[in-house]
Structure 1
Amino acid sequence: MPISYLTDDDGVRIRVEGHDLPGRRCGPAGEGGHGDVHVGLQARGDPSDLLGVHPGDAAAALWSVECTVLAGPAGPDLRGRYVQGRPGGRFLYLSWGDVDAAGTFAMFRRAKLMLDAVDPTVLAAAIRAGTLVGRLGLTDAAGNPLCAAVRPPAITWSPGA
């Protein structure tokens, strides 16, 4: 369904609200133990460029980024510093890592928040409202940091105010 009201100047804020963080210590299968787990939103093209790094035992984690919305052949195409992937397969990376005594973040896994899984009517409403909100738990079924491709129902997307 083409969205004809888009122009090259349209934008939307994406707000990711994470809850149920896994804690500072975990031992994902095959990876050994991790002792000072943190999570941040990764910038495109640079795994070391992270926004809003939160400790794994935080009560909640919040990230908010501005995106440009362009009309693409398959519908709205979100672009921005934190938006990864190709048109039709865009996503946000949440990077999990250990932080050492010097404050260096060493990534050990990532979660892909799949933007192509946002219902088109929800995305259209979010564009009109100016904000797209994703809410998700950040702990997997084994009690470790959430990883792999994340789509509904593991994440709930809605228009925000």
Structure 2
Amino acid sequence: MKKLLMVVVIIGLAVFMASHAFCEEKKEPACDYGYGYHMMDGQGYGMGGGHMMGQGYKPRALRSMKPEQREKWQKMRAAHMMDTMDLRMKLAAQRVELRTLWAQPEMDKDRINKLSDEVAMLQAELLKKRNQHLLQCRQKFGDHGWDCPGGW
């Protein structure tokens, strides 16, 4: 009897542990999947398209879009990301340089101030481009969900 019980428990554990391998992944964007209620795996409150903790990178409006509209949005998003790539690369490089300057025992205050100003200017420029992109999305696809698409 003990052997039978042990076999049943082992088979049950094996099936339980392998069950995630047989789950079908949703193919539509912004499916609200991620660490949700009480940090458990599954759907949660307000978790966007990301599969980690946080909002994800897809606006809520994608859920109500037709496939053709999603395709157009993805093309617009890709074009926006390409347009801002140089700015984002400069911003990342200057942030790393600024962090490096702060880590030095002898701080160069003038260089830190100059880099801080440059980082602020790049952030402002990226924000302007992001707002322009969101306005275009809102005009083209409607008035919902464009307030938090994530990223620049």
TM-score by length of 1: 0.24
Indicate the structure with greater helix content.
Answer: 2
Structure whose alpha-carbon radius of gyration is higher: 2
TM-score by length of 2: 0.24
Which has the bigger relative contact order, CA under 8 A and spacing at least 6?
A: 1
